[in-house]
Amino acid sequence: MATVMSTASATATSTPQPGEPVGIGFIGAGEISILHNKALKSIPGARLVGLWNRTPERALQRAAEYGCRRYETPEELVADPAIGAVFVLTDLDTHLQYVRLALEAGKNVLIEKPLGATVAEIEQMKATAERCGVICVPGHNMIHEASLARAHDLIQAGELGKIVSCYVMYNIQHSEERASTLPGMVRHILTHNIYTMLYLVGRPVRVTALKAMRHYENLSKEDLAMCIVELENGGLAHLCASFAADDLSADPWTFMVKVIGTAGATRYTYQDWVEAKRGISHSRVYTAYQATIANEDRYFVDVCLKGGKPLSTLEDAIVAQKMVEAVEKSLAEGVTVSIV
Ligand SMILES: NC(=O)c1ccc[n+]([C@@H]2O[C@H](COP(=O)([O-])OP(=O)(O)OC[C@H]3O[C@@H](n4cnc5c(N)ncnc54)[C@H](O)[C@@H]3O)[C@@H](O)[C@H]2O)c1
């Protein structure tokens, strides 16, 4: 099947011949680009052609490390016919600008989470992708995991009975230096918990949230956020996002997903695969984390670019952002907030 193409893309994108890998360009070459580069090396259907980064020194360094071209500007990158898809890997505040640039140049886009700063921004991305006839896929990597696919299928088939509760718990200590470049826990991590919850047990109805600062001393953003969610299906969810501490207990909730139903239960945990070496921002390599990025990129190339539906769509990203904004309102006003 051909790569998803638009009229606009006819000028800026060459269709890969059958068997030829699709060319990928990175806009942004920060920490997460290291994992996407590693992922692409394992995908026969894709090839990293080049990157652009705001800081030229880092662009040159990363292009040399990745063995790809460095573009002088993002406009030059999106104009290259060798590039069929763009990964937007910059800070949240700049996502919309680069997503629009790439989509309007006829490029398919994978965009890191959280997608936009507001619901309206994600709606603009969706409208632009539809207008340009190209695809825009949320980088919702955590659900690209075989154990969660099985959990999803069991739940969809009703094998777990009525959903009672869903827990998505994240406890991985990050340095203050690393956290200083990222939004707080609500936007940076809770977004992962929320789209994972959506994928498994469906939409939220109401949310109550609390946050705290337990580890950082010089940052003004939270390093811990939790919320309790009422689900459309009648069950409840509990989501936890923490950069404050690793869970060093005997059964750690490093990244742990549990769904309990009236007729069965399921659990997935990063702790099933741990490598005793430092990860990029983690004290250990949690094998499943890198694997979810590789699985996500492979799914984008092998399924989404060939017309298949993303595991998590832009509509899901809009619901996730609505819930992020409800969490923020709950935190600001100390109330339970409905999600409409
Ligand atoms: N999926 C995941 O598990 C995961 C993990 C980490 C980060 N992320 C996401 O990846 C994205 C990048 O995060 P990172 O960890 O690589 O951060 P980073 O701080 O290492 O890199 C940030 C990147 O954004 C660029 N940038 C910042 N401000 C810019 C501006 N005004 N104009 C152009 N470029 C700008 C920087 O040059 C750099 O390339 C963020 O959206 C983040 O939420 C996702």
Q: Which two tokens stand for residue 338?
A: 């409905």
Cα of 91 vs centre of ligand 1, distance in Å, is 4
Last residue in a domain, options 80, 105, 139: 139
Of 142, 97, 137, the residue nearest 117 (C-alpha): 97
Kindly indicate the confidence band of residue 4, based on its pLDDT and cuts at 50, 70 and 90. very low
Say if 334 falls within a structural domain: yes
**What is d(CA 240, CA 50) in angstroms, rounded to the nearest whole number?**
37
- Give the tens place of pLDDT for each residue, 191-231: 999 999 999 999 999 999 999 999 988 888 899 999 999 99
Whether residue 279 sits in one domain with residue 162: yes
**Are residues 211 and 242 in contact, defined by beta-carbon separation less than 8 angstroms?**
no
Q: Are residues 129 and 152 in the same domain?
A: no
Ligand 1 is surrounded, with C-beta below 6 A, by 28-32, 53-55, 89-92, 94, 112-113, 139, 141, 181, 188
Predicted local distance difference test score (pLDDT) of residue 13? 54
Which tokens belong to 36? 């996407």
Query: 86 C-alpha vs ligand 1 centroid, how far in Å?
Result: 15
Kindly state whether residue 300 falls inside one of the protein's structural domains. no
104 domain residue, yes or no: yes
Index of the ligand 1 atom closest to the CA of residue 55 = 37
Q: Best mutation site among 35, 91, 255 for ligand 1, i.e. most ligand atoms within 8 A of its Cβ?
A: 91
Whether the predicted model's global pTM rises above the 0.85 cut: yes
Which pair of tokens denotes residue 259? Answer: 């769904």
Both 129 and 192 in one domain: the answer is no
Provide mean pLDDT across the span 284-288: 95
Which pLDDT score is estimated for 10? 38
Tell me what pLDDT residue 61 has. 98
At residue 9, does pLDDT exceed 70?
no
Q: Give yes or no: residues 97 and 212 share one domain.
A: no
Long-range CB pairs of 273-282, under 8 A, 24+ apart, other chains included: 280/31, 280/34, 280/35, 281/31, 281/172, 281/174, 281/175, 281/178, 282/172, 282/174
pLDDT at position 122 = 98
Mean pLDDT, rounded, for 156-162 = 98
Choice from 32, 75, 110 to test ligand 1 binding pocket (greatest atom count within 8 A of CB)? 32
For residues 43 and 169, give the distance between their C-alpha atoms in angstroms, rounded to a whole number. 30
User: Of 97, 54, 52, whose CA–CA distance to 76 is shortest?
Assistant: 52
* Predicted pLDDT at 226: 98
- Nearest atom in ligand 1 to 181's CA: 19
How deeply is 305 buried, as exposed, middle or buried, from its count of CB atoms within 10 A (0-12, 13-18, 19+)?
Answer: buried
Q: Indicate whether 164 and 134 sit together in one domain.
A: no
With bands split at pLDDT 50, 70 and 90, how would you rate the model's confidence at 16? low
In the prediction, which pLDDT does 218 show?
87
Q: C-alpha distances in angstroms, 244 versus 123, 185, 226?
A: 33, 10, 12
Judge whether 135 and 129 are in contact, CB under 8 Å. yes
Q: Report how far ligand 1's centroid is from the alpha carbon of 33 (Å).
A: 8
pLDDT-derived band at 302 (thresholds 50, 70, 90) equals very high
pLDDT tens across 49-97, in order?
A: 999 999 999 999 999 999 999 999 999 999 999 999 999 999 999 999 9
281: confidence class by pLDDT, cuts 50, 70, 90: confident
Same domain, 162 and 256: yes
Least confident of 64-78, 118-132, 170-184: 170-184
Yes or no: say if 201 and 231 are a contact pair by the CB < 8 Å rule: yes
Lowest mean pLDDT among 11-20, 44-53, 144-153, 182-191: 11-20
pLDDT for residue 6: 38
Name the residue with the closest Cα to ligand 1, atom 30: 94
Cα 95 to averaged position of ligand 1 atoms, centre (Å): 9
Q: Calculate mean pLDDT across residues 11-23.
A: 70
Closest CA to 25 of 68, 59, 72: 68
Is the pLDDT score of 1 beyond 60? no
Boundaries of domain holding 175: 144-285+314-338
Confidence (pLDDT) at 181: 87
Q: Please tell me the predicted confidence (pLDDT) of residue 133.
A: 98
Whether 320 is in a domain gets the answer: yes
Beta carbons within 10 angstroms of residue 199's beta carbon: 21
B/e letters for 24-50, b = 16+ CB within 10 Å, e = fewer, are bbbbbbbebbbbbbebbeebebbbbbb
List beta partners, residue 86: 25, 109
CA of 260 to the centre of ligand 1 (A): 35
**Would 4 be classed as within a structural domain?**
no
Residue 335: what are its φ and ψ, rounded to 5°? -130, 165
Of the residues 139, 156, 173, the one at which a domain ends: 139
Same domain? 80 vs 228: no
Domain match, 203 and 222 both: yes
Q: How far apart are CA 197 and CA 203, in angstroms?
A: 8
304, part of any domain: no
Q: Are residues 110 and 184 in the same domain?
A: no
> Which residue, by CA, sits nearest to atom 38 of ligand 1?
30
For 162, list phi and psi in degrees, rounded to 5: -75, 135
Report yes or no on 305 lying in a domain: no
Domain containing residue 157: CATH number: 3.30.360.10
Q: What letter would DSSP give residue 160?
A: T
Distance 27 CA to ligand 1 centre (A): 10
In a domain, 290, yes or no: no
The SS3 assignment for 241 reads strand
Does residue 14 register a pLDDT over 70? no
| CA-141 nearest atom, ligand 1 | 1
Residue 2 has pLDDT above 50, yes or no: no
Do 215 and 234 lie in a common domain?
A: yes
Count of domains in the chain? 2
Q: What are phi and psi of 43, to 5 degrees?
A: -115, 110
Percent of all residues in the chain with a pLDDT value above 90, rounded to a whole number: 89
Instruction: Determine which residue's CA is closest to atom 7 belonging to ligand 1.
Output: 32
Residue finishing a domain among 139, 170, 194? 139
State mean pLDDT over 179-198: 95
Pair (91, 161) in one structural domain: no
d(CA 321, CA 95): 14
Specify the pLDDT at position 183.
87
Residue 321 is which amino acid?
A: Q
Q: What is the mean pLDDT of the chain?
A: 94
Query: What separation in Å is there between the alpha carbon of 187 and the centre of ligand 1?
Result: 13
Collapsed DSSP state (helix, strand, coil) of residue 135: coil
Residue 264's identity, in one-letter code, is G
Note whether 64 and 94 are same-domain residues. yes
